[in-house]
A and B are shown apart, each in its own frame.
Chain A
Amino acid sequence: MSFLTLSITLIFVLIPILLSKTLRLGLEKDTIIATVRSIIQLLAVGYILKFVFDSESLFYIFLMVTLMIVVATHNAQKKGAAIKGITWKVGVTLVFVEVLTQGILIGFNITPPTAQYVISISGMIIGNSMVLAILFLNRFTAEVDDHQDEMELILSLGGTPKQAIHSQLIKSIKASMIPTIESQKTVGLVQLPGMMSGQIIAGADPIQAVQFQLLIIFLLLTTAAVTSVMLGFLSYPTLFNDRMQLLRGK
């Protein structure tokens, strides 16, 4: 696609701006900012990726993945600011998910350890893991706020912190995983995943595109489960002290 053709697609940006102006939604400025940011960010990433792919340097691959994890951690930790040490907890979770999934993919020779595969798949894994972490932290902090009486009841009867928070932890883990599982139930029927569509548009064999998409779907299931469970079990102990008391000031 030429840049001239691409510029015609700005029609799709003009439509929401016109609608916003007509209906006085007040979203024109945000739409323009979002458009400009996405153009700059994606073009920059495109050129950086081209450079990294061409160099085939392990150092640049590592640098790219590290940058993704740092940005994702920074974004997700805001939702759990009340949890002590949340930044390193989210960071460790994202690193673990990345190492686990790439370890399996490369270890079993499913994908080659090249920049093209590692960076593309890492982007999907880390991005998904970040969204999962945000969903989990949102729900978990709300559950803890809303059920302090129940938690203190179990503590007051001689229960441990793990027993006191068990119900809230399980509910939060399930709630954060459900969107991933539900969206995968209708994949191919309701929506064609972006990566698969992109491959098909780029001229790839649809069956091969589907195979890759299945790989991603399976990966995202692991990502969802490991992110929620690991973040949950890293987070809950910091809500209590060594006298088994629920700490306030969340």
Chain B
Amino acid sequence: MNTSYKPAIHFHEVDYGVEDASILSKITGSFPKGRITTLVGPSGAGKTTLLKLCNGLISPQAGEIYIQGKNINEFAPVELRKSVGMALQSAPMVAGTVMNNLGLPLEIRGEKLSEEDGINLLHDVGLNEDVLNKKVKDLSGGQRQKVSIARTLVNRPDILLLDEITSSLDVTSLKEIEELIVKINQKYGTTIIWITHNLQQALTIGNYTWVMMKGKVIETGESELLESPVNEQVRRFVKGETE
């Protein structure tokens, strides 16, 4: 992988498991700062677990994780999670309106989101201002994902973790969200780590890619590696011979 970029996140020999089951094993590698790295691999490879480790929602049993050069354990959990934002595939929402959800990160620290800032956030993610007072249960899948991303942006994270955020979207919404993520990356220099099952998306949007299988990183490099993988397992995965 190109080493001219400083690592935003670095893993060193990271292990994670639940009870006796190993989920991640000896993960070592970096996500370059200010770039888009995609995580691809079959279901059960440990990709979501890897993202949760970056956000501090779980901790490894062994190994070290460094965020912007600092050991993750030296961060206060609240500070870490403000600078490493996360958007999930299910785009969970708290009950109420879009405004309630956009205001959640500020409400957590006793502040209030102004209506003007709420509208600006919606514009940033390509939504109209009339969505602001809509109930979240009335949103479409695409709108929900966009609100989820906008909500994550309220904290102005340096690193954005995206977990299959386009997997259930129609082609139009998918393109809009891809453009949005590229825009966020270019406008704010935000480091993006994006789990996707869409290999074409990984090739066109991502600068770098990690291919994971059964809790291990099998191959990493510039996204073009997906066109001509070195590893036999990755070659079979790219051809669709494994799920």
Contacts and interface: CB of A to CB of B under 8 A. Distances in A.
B90 A243 contact: no
A244 B19 contact: no
B151 interface: yes
Given A156-B55, A245-B56, 17 more contacts: A149-B90, A149-B92, A154-B108, A156-B57, A156-B81, A157-B85, A157-B104, A157-B152, A157-B155, A158-B78, A158-B81, A158-B82, A163-B108, A167-B95, A244-B77, A245-B58, A248-B18
Nearest to A147: B92
Interface residues of B, number: 27
A68 interface: no
B109 interface: yes
Contacts of A245: 56-59, 77
Among A157, A244, A248, max chain B CB count under 10 A is at: A157
A160 interface: yes
A158 B155 contact: yes
Interface of A: 149-150, 152-160, 163, 167, 243-246, 248-249
A249 to B, nearest CB: 7
B108 A159 contact: yes
B58 A153 contact: no
A154 B104 contact: yes
A160 B108 CA distance: 8
Interface in B115-153: 151-152
A232 B77 CA distance: 24
A152 B57 contact: yes
A157 B86 CA distance: 8
Contacts of B57: 152, 155-156, 245-246
A167 B94 contact: yes
Interface string B39-66: 0000000000000000111110000000
9 contacts: A149-B90, A149-B92, A152-B57, A153-B92, A155-B77, A157-B151, A244-B78, A245-B57, A246-B57
Contacts of A248: 18
Contacts of A244: 56, 77-78
